[in-house]
């Protein structure tokens, strides 16, 4: 009976060790997956930072003239009329969009 008891304990210890090993291996795989995901996120952010550093923000950005056909008054949904102070390279840099129907003025800055 003493021999059987120690054998049972040995099997229980081996089974427990096997279960623990499986749990550790599963958790390690999860952590490795998370590390890969974080590395991809880091690479993406580093690329974005490089692009931002290289971007030319010295040029003013405005509303493309081609977009005027799509813009309507937010109040009455009528077409807008452009009163521009500055247009450069097909972009409205400054001025105003005015609704002839309701009089709403939308500044472009």
Domain of 76, CATH number, reads 2.20.25
Residue 4 clears pLDDT 60, i.e. is over it: no
**Residue 96: pLDDT band with limits 50, 70, 90:** very high
Report CA dihedral (38, 43, 58, 66) to the nearest 10 degrees: -80
Q: Which residue has the tokens 């003025």?
A: 105
Give phi and psi for 72, each to the nearest 5. Answer: -135, 165
Q: Sorting pLDDT into bands at 50, 70 and 90, what band is 90?
A: confident
Structural domain span for residue 47: 1-55
As for how many domains the chain has, the answer is: 2
If asked whether residues 3 and 50 sit together in one domain, one would say: yes
Q: What's the pLDDT tens digit per position in 31-43?
A: 999 999 999 999 9
Based on the fold, state whether residues 51 and 1 are members of the same structural domain: yes
Q: Tokens 């974080």 correspond to what residue?
A: 38
Same domain, 75 and 37: no
| 7 pLDDT more than 90 | no
Instruction: Give me the pLDDT at residue 75, please.
Output: 94
Assess whether 84 and 42 both reside in one domain: no
- pLDDT tens column, 47-57: 989 888 877 66
């Amino acid at each position: 009976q003493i021999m059987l008891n120690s054998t049972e304990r040995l099997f229980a210890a081996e089974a427990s060790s096997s279960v623990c090993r499986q749990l550790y291996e599963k958790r390690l795989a999860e952590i490795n997956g998370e590390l890969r995901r974080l590395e991809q996120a880091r690479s993406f952010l580093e690329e974005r930072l490089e692009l931002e550093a290289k971007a030319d923000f010295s040029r003013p950005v405005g509303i493309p003239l081609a977009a005027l056909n799509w813009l309507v008054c937010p109040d009455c949904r009528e077409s807008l009329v452009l009163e521009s102070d500055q247009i450069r390279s097909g972009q409205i840099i400054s001025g105003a969009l005015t609704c002839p129907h309701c009089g709403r003025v939308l500044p472009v800055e």
